[in-house]
Structure 1
Amino acid sequence: MTIQTASLQDRIDARPGDFRVLTGDRPTGPLHLGHYFGTLRNRVRLQRRGVELIVVVADYQVLTDRDVADRLAPTVHGLILDYLAAGLDPERATIFTHSAVPALNQLVLPFLSLVSVPELQRNPTVKDEIAHSRQSAVSGLMFTYPVHQAADILFCKGNLVPVGQDQLPHVELTRTVARRFNERYGEVFPVPEALLGTTSLLLGTDGTKMSKSRGNAIALSATPDETARLIRSAKTDADRHITYDPQARPGVSGLVQLAALCLGQDPHEVAATVGAAGAAALKRLVTEAVNEFLAPLRARRAGYAREPGLVWDVLRAGNARAGARAEQTLAEVREAMGTRY
């Protein structure tokens, strides 16, 4: 898929009201800095620009993980707190859960009829999730993730999807589903565009992609001491002189990049600042930068957490709005397919 982010961004800036964004997360644990710099920051920016923002908490997509499914309610609660603390405004953004919008989930079946099994098996994001699932057997639900995401995007006629590089295959499959449905049944869905974030992939403390499942992520809700401990344990290398070279030095470069993002500086400048002072000095710099950057977000999160019922009120309102929109789209789909009996 060809993505012309610059020209797309120009169109968003000129006419933000023409765009409807669908984005979201699976509630598998606390959101981390990879989420923030990868998508959350951009969601807030789009919201402030006047783009309509719809955010799904994909609770059905964690049923493949028994450990998460058994503590779903507190995980969803924490996820909404992370959203609010990051700057999502429930008065302007619709925040909802999969399980509360049955009309959305009814779109999955006709969409599955438009996609082949090899197309699902080839999806690199699904393959990566399976590789890191630590499960002896993979459920059929995991293979349907891309189609469920297509339903997430298309139920609200979403035409813009802000994603990181690793999520592009899901958007491409959504575009395929929209085109095939329209070709078979008539024009119902827009073909969404992907808005690729400008931040390169944020590495975790082990030098690989920052991920909750890999245990290498710095949660937005982590305390300063927890953050310091995690950064102290980060992998570096034997070269004392600090440089920014993601290919040759992923561990060191991941730390440099993290500090650069939090400080608003170029990674090469950060590396030059540390120079020959070594990994210990780099880790101290990163710890200070991260904790200072997250301090206001953590304060907002603590304030929201003290408001009883706030999170569930946000979800009830968002579920109602999303449900009404999903019912309308499902009615159009039934009309197009000739299944309104």
Structure 2
Amino acid sequence: MSNDITTPTATEPTDAHTATGAVDAGTAQRRSAEIEEQLRRDPGPFRVLTGDRPTGKLHLGHYFGTLRNRVRLQNLGVDTFVVVADYQVLTDRDLADHLSEHVEDLVLDYLATGIDPERSTIFAHSAVPALNQLLLPFLSLISVAELNRNPTVKDEIAHSRQSAVSGLMFTYPVHQAADILFCKANLVPVGQDQLPHLEVTRTVARRFNDRYGTDGPVFPTPDALLSAAPLLLGTDGTKMSKSRGNSIALAHTADETARLIKGAKTDAERRITYDPAARPEVSSLVLLAALCQDRDPRDIAEEIGDGGGAVLKKTVTDAVNEHLAPLRARRAEYAADRAFLRKILRAGNERANEVAEQTLSEVRRAMGTAY
């Protein structure tokens, strides 16, 4: 398939994204709602880029926060590229030492949740040289000061536990721009906290087009598709995270899930209510059960009533295990054939390379470096 796509009005600059990099979240939310309506009417003009770093098995936060939405977009008919961002874990020695295993686990989780390699392109970052070659011209379009101001980079650095910041980590937003623009994605599903990262991509696209697009724009200016990702806390009451050891992985068995939920933090009040502000730990568990059963969390809390933490945790355990049963069955089936996982990656890498080579050729022509 060619990577030439019809750019819909959703890719035009909007008030949500200013030349200074400031992002108006309210305007971004309204624009995202408009795009959702366009997707329902005609998904054909859209191409999505999304993905994850292979740092361990995905968990329920990933599932309800992003994975289900990717499957939804795929099933709507949106051309979807899913990057396994293996280059982005090279800053962590422990993770890089087990990279092959982590990559396979990530592909397993993708397939188990319903990402279909016949309709979505799953590829590895490191396997697409032309994509990574875009990083050099893109870096010339962004200043060090602009990278220093990026709040997401600051947060990554603060939580990296590294004694020094590598150039790879510092330039991550520009590498992400290459991920998005190599396939000319015009839509990127993100949470609101990722808007500054996407703004770097939009800035790169605009500046490249202004500087080199004498025969017309080379890149679309991608829009954010803001997700209403639910806030699920980990079993210790803090943000669910692979690195904190407080998550419920999609790969966990039913018994492991029951044990983890049994040890989840709650509070001393017996009556169960849904009040995320005043009772975050209890409310997160109630929300998890509601998401699994596609119900209103307030109804779940009302049913449990004075049953207390024990009834709450049993309700959540039953809901999670029932919801994940078919996913776990698919995951076990795929896990029995590791060669198939590599085959999926090779096929995705092949398509991604074709797309990236075509884009790089356009970039070279625009820059006058097609010797």
TM-score under structure 2 length normalisation: 0.89
Show the counterpart of 2:79: 52
Show the counterpart of 2:168: 141
Task: Report the 3-state secondary structure (helix = DSSP H, G, I; strand = E; otherwise coil) of the residue aligned with 1:316.
Answer: helix
Show the counterpart of 1:286: 316
Task: Report the 3-state secondary structure (helix = DSSP H, G, I; strand = E; otherwise coil) of the residue aligned with 2:83.
Answer: strand
Residue 43 of structure 2 is aligned to residue 16 of structure 1: yes
The Cα shift of 1:8 comes to: 0.6
- Paired with 1:37 and 1:143, the residues of 2 have a C-alpha distance of 29
Asked whether the equivalents of residues 88 and 168 of structure 2 are also in contact (C-alpha less than 8 Å), the reply is yes
Q: Residue by residue, what CA displacement relative to the aligned partner does 1:190-240 show, whole Å, maximum 9, x if unpaired?
A: 011111112333222222322212222111111112111221222222222
Q: Residue by residue, what CA displacement relative to the aligned partner does 1:149-176 show, whole Å, maximum 9, x if unpaired?
A: 1110100000011122332222222111
Q: 1:240 to 1:121 in 2, by over 3 A?
A: farther
Show the counterpart of 1:68: 95
- Paired with 2:339 and 2:247, the residues of 1 have a C-alpha distance of 28
Cα RMSD for the two superposed structures? 1.4
Show the counterpart of 2:193: 166
The Cα shift of 1:86 comes to: 0.6
User: Once structures 1 and 2 are overlaid, which stretch shifts more, 88-97 or 240-249?
Assistant: 240-249
Show the counterpart of 2:267: 237
Show the counterpart of 1:336: 366
Structure 2 unaligned regions, length at least 5: 1-15, 17-26
Asked whether the equivalents of residues 31 and 82 of structure 1 are also in contact (C-alpha less than 8 Å), the reply is yes
Asked whether the equivalents of residues 205 and 255 of structure 1 are also in contact (C-alpha less than 8 Å), the reply is no
Equivalent residues in 2 for 1:262-273 (5 A)? Answer: 262-273=292-303
* Aligned AA (1:36): Y
The Cα shift of 1:127 comes to: 2.4
The one of 308, 316, 334 aligned to 2:346: 316
Asked whether the equivalents of residues 66 and 229 of structure 2 are also in contact (C-alpha less than 8 Å), the reply is no
- Paired with 2:370 and 2:210, the residues of 1 have a C-alpha distance of 20
The Cα shift of 1:308 comes to: 4.4
Residue 147 of structure 2 is aligned to residue 120 of structure 1: yes
Residue 129 of structure 2 is aligned to residue 102 of structure 1: yes
The Cα shift of 1:96 comes to: 0.5
Structure 1 unaligned regions, length at least 5: none
Q: How many residues align?
A: 341
- Paired with 1:51 and 1:249, the residues of 2 have a C-alpha distance of 38
Instruction: Kindly report structure 1 stretches of 4+ aligned residues shifted beyond 6 Å.
Output: none
Asked whether the equivalents of residues 81 and 121 of structure 2 are also in contact (C-alpha less than 8 Å), the reply is yes
Q: Residue by residue, what CA displacement relative to the aligned partner does 1:253-279 show, whole Å, maximum 9, x if unpaired?
A: 211111111111112112222222222
- Paired with 1:168 and 1:256, the residues of 2 have a C-alpha distance of 29
* Aligned AA (1:111): F
Task: Report the 3-state secondary structure (helix = DSSP H, G, I; strand = E; otherwise coil) of the residue aligned with 2:44.
Answer: helix
User: Once structures 1 and 2 are overlaid, which stretch shifts more, 289-298 or 110-119?
Assistant: 110-119
Q: Residue by residue, what CA displacement relative to the aligned partner does 1:294-316 show, whole Å, maximum 9, x if unpaired?
A: 11000001111123410000011
Asked whether the equivalents of residues 21 and 161 of structure 1 are also in contact (C-alpha less than 8 Å), the reply is yes
Asked whether the equivalents of residues 208 and 250 of structure 1 are also in contact (C-alpha less than 8 Å), the reply is no
Q: 1:215 to 1:166 in 2, by over 3 A?
A: farther
Show the counterpart of 1:248: 278
Asked whether the equivalents of residues 64 and 230 of structure 2 are also in contact (C-alpha less than 8 Å), the reply is no
The one of 39, 52, 56 aligned to 1:29: 56
Q: 1:217 to 1:291 in 2, by over 3 A?
A: same
- Paired with 1:136 and 1:11, the residues of 2 have a C-alpha distance of 46
